Amino acid sequence: MTYQNYSLKQLQAIDAAHHLHPFTDHKDLRAAGSRMITHADGPYIYDSEGNEILDGMAGLWCVNVGYGRNELAEAAYRQMKELPFYNSFFRCTTPTPVLLAKKIAELAPDNINQVFYGSSGSEANDTALRLVRHFWALQGKPQKNRIISRNMAYHGSTIAGASLGGMGGMHEQLGGAVPNVVHVMMPYAYELALPGENDHDFGLRAAKAVEDAILEAGADNVAAFIGEPVMGAGGVKIPPASYWPEVQRICRKYDVLLMLDEVITGYGRTGEWFAAQTFDLEPDTITTAKALTSGYQPLSALLVGDRIAATLVEKGGEFYHGYTYSGHPVACAVGLENIEIIQREGLVERVKNDTGPYFAKALQEHLGDHDIVGEVRAIGLMGAIEIVKDKATKERFEPSGSAAVVVRDHAIANGMMLRATGDTMIMSPPLIWTRDTIDLACERIRKALDLAKADLFRSK
Ligand code: PMP
């Protein structure tokens, strides 16, 4: 690696000249210059100026075992030397995807025993969409192909991912979404509950929106409902306890498949291996990626339930779908080692019994009373802080989304990486965080909130 031969200014100039970043306003980026992260260790990332920043986002919801894991580097190195690549097409495969699939099946809900690989969450959702439609076609019901999703859902950035997702800005830029995807309300009580409506009733009403969409289309035309168990990029929106059991009941009643997108929640984040287990669900597909390798290699796995998998075998016929890197041997070697680390260190149990509950309590106690915080919420090691101008009325700062950016910039300047989405600060730290790390994070966030409050009221 020779980047050390370049100054930050030189790297930024090359970046501006040649590199188009994802989800970026390129005009703004040119003006501001990019932040260059150069190395990382444990829970910390370091930028080119040597600043140490506590990574409250685990990279991008993925580095669950933290940075600097030699075992993962060595697993990749060994596999690259032995067999860097061979495909899984044409009745071939290689050992590591086989063994990883077995491992995932052991951890997954009981009705799930098969895995289809890709390299990203978006690809895995493409696979999921094609697979459920193929399933109904094999069942002799090709017209049962409508998918119900939710506003503000994030299911990736390919055409299928963006179509499944419920982000208005993304839809506007699609120039034609995948047909037959409809979106219903999200289960977000803080903004959508009616005056006097309690969480329980709100959760049932949000689930009823799914039933209404099924009835409107006719159950014979609806293939599946897709949802993130906890909406991530849309703002860590945790549904009321009444929501998921009711959605599961409705899906069963109308024979609509349940597709869970666990790209964020998979592999421990909510204190179980999968949020399906946290919410006691029996999905037909689970989309996973990110923490499957803790982000050390690009890898996704679509977990496929027995009903769909058995139909593929019974009915036969080729499923015309797959990627060159489906079951990449190096990525799968890293995935295997990563799961072993999570198991060896008991990280899932730790989130469930210790750091998860502590995280929720700490956010509440240290940040919940702050003047510009409307609500804090957490599940496992996933959290959100709502930024408001007025706690009582829930009034937001204008323009929408601006205040969270001010908080984020102060947080980063104070050694704390947080993400701003809309008016919400979101967090998804590595599962290696301890109680001490959580305390340190709360201290830094509190300081960022104080500084942001001063800025935000000064500029009014
Ligand atoms: N689904 C969810 C729930 C996600 O959070 C993401 C990424 N943040 C994706 C799908 C897409 O994954 P990728 O960026 O790997 O394509």
Among the atoms of ligand 1, which is closest to the Cα of residue 61?
A: 8
Mean pLDDT within 194-219 = 98
Q: Looking at the structure, do residues 314 and 354 belong to the same domain, yes or no?
A: no
Pairing mode, strands 181-184 and 146-150: parallel
> Which residues does ligand 1 sit against, CB inside 6 Å?
120-122, 125, 154-156, 228, 232-233, 261, 263-264, 289
Mean pLDDT within 277-298 = 98
Which residue among 129, 262, 264, 267 has the greatest number of ligand 1 atoms within 8 angstroms of its CB, and so is best to mutate? 264
The per-residue pLDDT for 301 is: 99
Instruction: Provide the domain count of the chain.
Output: 2
- pTM exceeds 0.85, yes or no: yes
Contacts of 196 (CB under 8 A, 6+ apart): none
Supply 382's token pair. 């996933």
The Å distance, Cα 156 to ligand 1 centre, comes to: 5
Supply 326's token pair. 């489906």
Is residue 2 scored above 80 in pLDDT? no
DSSP state of 353: I
CATH number for the domain spanning 365: value is 3.90.1150.10
Alpha helices, DSSP H, located in 66-194: 70-82, 95-107, 121-138, 159-164, 168-172, 189-192
Asked, for residue 278, whether it belongs to a domain, the answer is: yes
pLDDT digits over 16-70, tens only?
999 999 999 999 999 988 999 999 999 999 999 999 999 999 999 999 999 999 9
Domain that holds residue 239: 71-344
Confidence of residue 458 (pLDDT cuts 50, 70, 90): confident
Mean pLDDT within 167-178 = 96
Is residue 292 scored above 80 in pLDDT? yes
Which residue among 61, 149, 155, 167 has the greatest number of ligand 1 atoms within 8 angstroms of its CB, and so is best to mutate? 155
Q: Looking at the structure, do residues 229 and 273 belong to the same domain, yes or no?
A: yes
| Cα 322 from Cα 310, distance rounded (Å) | 19
Is residue 3 scored above 90 in pLDDT? no
Is residue 415 scored above 80 in pLDDT? yes
Q: Looking at the structure, do residues 210 and 78 belong to the same domain, yes or no?
A: yes
Asked, for residue 412, whether it belongs to a domain, the answer is: yes
Q: Looking at the structure, do residues 378 and 324 belong to the same domain, yes or no?
A: no
The Å distance, Cα 280 to ligand 1 centre, comes to: 22
Q: Looking at the structure, do residues 147 and 191 belong to the same domain, yes or no?
A: yes
Q: Looking at the structure, do residues 102 and 236 belong to the same domain, yes or no?
A: yes
pLDDT digits over 249-269, tens only?
999 999 999 999 999 999 999
Q: Looking at the structure, do residues 159 and 285 belong to the same domain, yes or no?
A: yes
Among the atoms of ligand 1, which is closest to the Cα of residue 261?
A: 3
Mean pLDDT within 333-341 = 98
Q: Looking at the structure, do residues 314 and 372 belong to the same domain, yes or no?
A: no
Mean pLDDT within 126-140 = 98
Mean pLDDT within 311-326 = 97
| Cα 91 from Cα 380, distance rounded (Å) | 40
Mean pLDDT within 386-407 = 96
Is residue 1 scored above 80 in pLDDT? no
The Å distance, Cα 286 to ligand 1 centre, comes to: 13
| Cα 197 from Cα 42, distance rounded (Å) | 43
Pairing mode, strands 416-417 and 300-305: unpaired
CATH number for the domain spanning 111: value is 3.40.640.10
Q: Looking at the structure, do residues 337 and 356 belong to the same domain, yes or no?
A: no
Q: Looking at the structure, do residues 84 and 58 belong to the same domain, yes or no?
A: no
A 10 A CB-CB count for 128 gives 31
Shortest CA distance to 51 belongs to which of 405, 416, 296, 409? 416
The Å distance, Cα 121 to ligand 1 centre, comes to: 5
The per-residue pLDDT for 118 is: 98
Contacts of 310 (CB under 8 A, 6+ apart): none
Among the atoms of ligand 1, which is closest to the Cα of residue 120?
A: 15
Query: Is the preceding omega at residue 399 within 30 degrees of 0, hence cis?
Result: yes
* Closest residue to atom 1 of ligand 1, CA basis: 155
Asked, for residue 93, whether it belongs to a domain, the answer is: yes
Among the atoms of ligand 1, which is closest to the Cα of residue 232?
A: 5
| Cα 26 from Cα 23, distance rounded (Å) | 9
The Å distance, Cα 161 to ligand 1 centre, comes to: 8
Which residue among 150, 154, 259 has the greatest number of ligand 1 atoms within 8 angstroms of its CB, and so is best to mutate? 154
Look at residues 292, 309, 344 and tell me which one is the last residue of a structural domain: 344
pLDDT digits over 61-112, tens only?
999 999 999 999 999 999 999 999 999 999 999 999 999 999 999 999 999 9
Q: Looking at the structure, do residues 49 and 163 belong to the same domain, yes or no?
A: no
Is residue 351 scored above 70 in pLDDT? yes
Output the average pLDDT for the chain: 97
Helix (H) or strand (E) holding 313: helix 306-315
Which residue among 167, 263, 325 has the greatest number of ligand 1 atoms within 8 angstroms of its CB, and so is best to mutate? 263
Q: Looking at the structure, do residues 315 and 195 belong to the same domain, yes or no?
A: yes
Pairing mode, strands 181-184 and 222-227: unpaired
Among the atoms of ligand 1, which is closest to the Cα of residue 300?
A: 15
| Cα 77 from Cα 47, distance rounded (Å) | 26
Is residue 460 scored above 70 in pLDDT? no
Residues belonging to the chain = 460
* Closest residue to atom 6 of ligand 1, CA basis: 156
The Å distance, Cα 92 to ligand 1 centre, comes to: 28
Is residue 459 scored above 80 in pLDDT? no
Let me know how many helices (H) and strands (E) the chain has, helices first.
18, 15
